[in-house]
Amino acid sequence: MLSSKMYIDGEWTDALSGATLTTVDPSTGEPLGTAPAAGEEDVDRAVMAARTAFKSWAMQPQKNRSDALLKISAAIRERAGELAELESREHGTPYNDAFGAVMGAAAKFEWSAYAAYRVMGEQIPVDFTTISYMQRHAAGVVGFIIPWNLPTIMAAVKLAPAIAVGNTAVIKPASINSLIGLKMAEIIHDTGALPPGVVNFVTGPGGTAGSAIAKHPEVDIIGFTGSSETGKTLLRDAADTVKKCIMELGGNNPVLVLPDADVDKALDILAWRQFNNSGQHCSGPGRYYIHERIYDEFVQKFKARAEAVKMGDSKDKTVEMGPVVSAEHQRHVLDYIKGAVGEGARIVTGGEAVSPGFFIQPTVVADVKHEMKIAREEVFGPVAVLIKYTDDDDLIALANDSRYGLCSHIWTRDLGAGMKLVENLQVGAAFINTQMLMDEQSWGTSVKESGIGKEGGLRGMLEFTDQKLVCIKYAD
């Protein structure tokens, strides 16, 4: 069994209560390790450490902060194998995918180190005797609550831009990924790049540690990725102190497959995207609307793609799809599949649990109706939900008939038709004939119940700053 401590004010510590939590290897279902289960008093220690460190960190020359991030980036690359192995063991990500995510995390720190030079002010023309400008400055202490589906890279996406511009942070990894979060803390600590208190990692349940972060009066911003339901709870927790909240929440992303689409090219990407990380992607395909003219071809070819996926223990470097993250989530996904069959849908392939561990076969569910629960809610698993539409159906109305608005995928040879759809889709991002193409310079955005604020890129970095108007009259 592995064992880790929390990281507060540059020191390794247990929870004051002595409480711990146990994480599990989802490929085997066996216990993997223990971590502290933080309570409110532990969160308070971390927040106050971040508050104490804030003033001096925010006043550092940008070069000093950027140099620190570059050291962290280099250390993550140097120890990428350690992080990838642990993500494979504790989360169930196939090793090669985990390694790629770790290298992506390193890139987030590197890009943020350079980008921070570009964002801190702008001059406003007024008249010839007055200087007026908007001065940006770090917002303060940021509380981050990290999702379980992409634990390493999502911590980097949030943390790197925040500390690059002078904020300090308290990070709570997802409980089931506690060891991954604390391994990142170890790598950061070992660089010696950051003063004590700039970054603090606390582990524990969301209902206690996460809520304590959101409620704490010395936390200025909350950054969260997770379900819309949890996001609403955190918004309520943050309301009493009017905290700024940056949130990417749930999604049920429509895939619109027009009658002229190249089915093979579409499935080259869609099938990979559906089963990569066991379908546990916020921006992955949610519900497919396929024109009746190509529906049968699409179903049969998706079946073949699903049955070709190599599923197995995530530590096997030849595996393409590992388990879902937990026994609870396995039950959650299987309940959706069972419910769809009860409502009249058809399992084309898959649909069963595989033991040991928390595996679900790559699954294709066809003949789904728009009104079915599996089409209305976020499944978040290796399950393709296929719906046939006709020329008489209003495709835009079907796609927009959702409380979510994260992203959409469109497949067509007619770019004019695709762009007309983009103009009317109520989503934060749209992808035509491609997967999500985003790098460090891009940002994510959401509408409806899929979130608030921006994440990634310069716009995401600006979320961690406040603005101050400065006006100077220098002559009569």
Same domain, 18 and 95: yes
Decide if 162 is inside a domain.
Answer: yes
Please check whether residue 245 is in contact with residue 224, taking contact to mean a CB–CB distance below 8 angstroms: yes
Q: Tally the domains of the chain.
A: 2
Looking at residue 438, what is its pLDDT? 63
Looking at residue 125, what is its pLDDT? 75
CATH number at residue 294: 3.40.309.10
User: Is the pLDDT assigned to residue 434 strictly greater than 80?
Assistant: yes
Same domain, 335 and 466: no
Band the pLDDT of 98: cuts 50, 70, 90: very high
CATH number at residue 71: 3.40.605.10
Which tens digits make up the pLDDT trace of 15-24?
999 999 999 9
Range of the domain at 411: 254-440
Tokens 């918004």 found at: 235
Same domain, 38 and 106: yes
User: Is the pLDDT assigned to residue 304 strictly greater than 70?
Assistant: yes
Amino acid identity of 415? L
The arithmetic mean of pLDDT across residues 133-147, rounded, is: 96
Q: What is the CA radius of gyration of the chain?
A: 23
Same domain, 193 and 294: no
Please check whether residue 275 is in contact with residue 267, taking contact to mean a CB–CB distance below 8 angstroms: no
Which tens digits make up the pLDDT trace of 357-406?
999 999 999 999 999 999 999 999 999 999 999 999 999 999 999 999 99
Q: What percent of the chain has pLDDT over 90?
A: 93
Decide if 9 is inside a domain.
Answer: yes
Decide if 21 is inside a domain.
Answer: yes
User: What whole-number distance in Å separates Cα of residue 5 and Cα of residue 181?
Assistant: 11
Same domain, 464 and 394: no
Overall size of the chain counted in residues? 476
Q: What percent of the chain has pLDDT over 70?
A: 99
The arithmetic mean of pLDDT across residues 230-236, rounded, is: 97
Same domain, 118 and 94: yes
Looking at residue 124, what is its pLDDT? 75
Please check whether residue 271 is in contact with residue 383, taking contact to mean a CB–CB distance below 8 angstroms: no
Element (H, E) at 263: helix 263-275
Please check whether residue 371 is in contact with residue 397, taking contact to mean a CB–CB distance below 8 angstroms: no
Looking at residue 166, what is its pLDDT? 98
Band the pLDDT of 129: cuts 50, 70, 90: confident
Decide if 345 is inside a domain.
Answer: yes
Q: How far is C-alpha 458 from the geometric centre of its chain's CA atoms?
A: 18
Which tens digits make up the pLDDT trace of 175-221?
999 999 999 999 999 999 999 999 999 999 999 999 999 999 999 99
Same domain, 172 and 282: no
Report the chain's mean pLDDT, rounded to a whole number: 96
User: Is the pLDDT assigned to residue 122 strictly greater than 90?
Assistant: no
User: Is the pLDDT assigned to residue 442 strictly greater than 90?
Assistant: no
State the catalytic residues: 248, 282
Strands (E), 355-420: 359-360, 363-366, 383-389, 404-405, 407-411
Decide if 476 is inside a domain.
Answer: no
The arithmetic mean of pLDDT across residues 447-458, rounded, is: 95
User: What whole-number distance in Å separates Cα of residue 377 and Cα of residue 387?
Assistant: 14
Band the pLDDT of 443: cuts 50, 70, 90: confident
Residues in contact with 66: Cβ distance below 8 Å, sequence separation at least 6, in sequence order: 113, 114, 116, 117, 164
Decide if 445 is inside a domain.
Answer: no
**Across 397-406, 431-440, 443-452, least confident range:** 431-440
Q: Enter the pTM of the model.
A: 0.96
